[in-house]
Amino acid sequence: MEENKDILKTDQPEYVLEIKDLSIRYDTDDAKVYAVNGIDLKLKKQTTLGLVGETGAGKTTTVLSLLKLVPDPPGVITGGEILVNGNDVMQLSKKELSAMRGKEIAMIFQDPMTSLNPVMTVGDQIAESIMIHENVGKEEAFKMAQKMLETVGISGERAVEYPHQFSGGMKQRVDIAIALACHPSILIADEPTTALDVTIQAQVLKLMKDLKDQFQTSMIMITHDLGIVARTCDEVAVMYAGRIVEEGTLEEIFKKTMHPYTEGLFNSLPNMKDRNSKLKPIKGLISDPTVDYQYCAFADRCPYATEKCWQEVPAKRYFSETHMVMCSAYDDPEFHIARGHENG
């Protein structure tokens, strides 16, 4: 398997982002919280990676670390490497970091109501990013900001207005405009539509997809909505308790689901064909993040769990070049989960 990875690396140097064995821990007074436990991720140019998982799985912590924005204290990056366009984020100086943020990686935040500064006009907020990264004056930056607003479908005249004069969906558009203002090579969207209603959600997602293509940006989409994943992503990584338990192309994850946790996620979706059917939630609660799991963290909720699951952290197993699953059950070559079996 090690060999396999190396081949991937040399054959395809066009990764904009590589995360290697990243671990992040929050050291609080009460406990140590193991937020991210040795994850590997690679993001190809112009692809969209969906990062899926329950609340507390470590999705946001992972992406914040890409910008070195994990609050420290209490957050400590305990190991691993993050390469953005080949540069190791951990080794960057404060100045280089400032130059990278917004220019190479930009982020769209979850709640547009709180992610805009209420006392600055939206134009100034977009222009701020442009002024930091492009060598332009105030007036020109403002004009570019207006153009950017029009790109996201808001009239440029409104650049002089304040965030409270915009609706939620429009604020999220402004957020997108800020993030894309300097044409970053990676766009991180942290549950960009969670705070929006469903009709606006669709519009915003479409806009993001269009702009992603227009600006040739790669994207990491954090969400717990599998519908959004299906609509926007090329690749999917499923996170549980700080580990990526299954990773693959959209098709592999949706059609050839392997990991019991991923199966559980799909089973918890409401069944559209049979509206009277009961929801099938994953039993139990999300694992305690203050435990440093030296075994499969999902074992106590897993319907297929065996003795072995409690003894060691499952190894990474590749079922295709792209499809990785972290589950000991596949030691048994006969093993398969119910979902894949039913679907044939």
Q: Where along the sequence are the contacts to another protein (CB under 8 A)?
A: 67, 69, 73, 97-103, 106-107, 109-111, 114-120, 123, 128-129, 132-133, 146, 150, 153, 155-157, 159-160, 162, 164, 175, 178-179, 181-182
Q: Would you say 171 or 301 has its CB closer to another protein?
A: 171
Cis peptide preceding 184, ω within 30 of 0: no
DSSP string, 202-238: HHHHHHHHHHHHHHT-EEEEEES-HHHHHHH-SEEEE
> Which residue is it, tokens 């609706």?
167
Q: Would you say 215 or 318 has its CB closer to another protein?
A: 215
CB of 126 vs another protein, minimal distance in Å = 10
Q: Would you say 163 or 314 has its CB closer to another protein?
A: 163
Length of the chain: 344
CB of 132 vs another protein, minimal distance in Å = 5
Distance between CA atoms of 302 and 338, rounded to whole angstroms?
12
CB of 208 vs another protein, minimal distance in Å = 16
CB of 146 vs another protein, minimal distance in Å = 5
Distance between CA atoms of 191 and 109, rounded to whole angstroms?
7
Would you state the structure tokens that stand for residue 291, as one six-digit string? 């435990």
> Which residue is it, tokens 């199966």?
263
Q: Would you say 207 or 286 has its CB closer to another protein?
A: 207
CB of 133 vs another protein, minimal distance in Å = 7
DSSP-derived pairing of the beta strands 186-190 and 15-27: unpaired
Distance between CA atoms of 105 and 84, rounded to whole angstroms?
8
Residues 6+ apart with CB under 8 A from 133: 99, 102, 103, 182
CB of 15 vs another protein, minimal distance in Å = 21
| 3-state secondary structure at position 288 | coil
Of 39, 33, 88, 32, the C-alpha closest to 59 is: 39
Distance between CA atoms of 190 and 178, rounded to whole angstroms?
14
CB of 113 vs another protein, minimal distance in Å = 9
CB of 214 vs another protein, minimal distance in Å = 15
Q: Would you say 62 or 262 has its CB closer to another protein?
A: 62
Q: Would you say 116 or 253 has its CB closer to another protein?
A: 116
Q: Would you say 116 or 337 has its CB closer to another protein?
A: 116
Phi/psi region, residue 80 (left: phi>0; alpha: psi -120 to 50; beta: rest), is: left
Q: Would you say 36 or 179 has its CB closer to another protein?
A: 179
Distance between CA atoms of 4 and 294, rounded to whole angstroms?
25
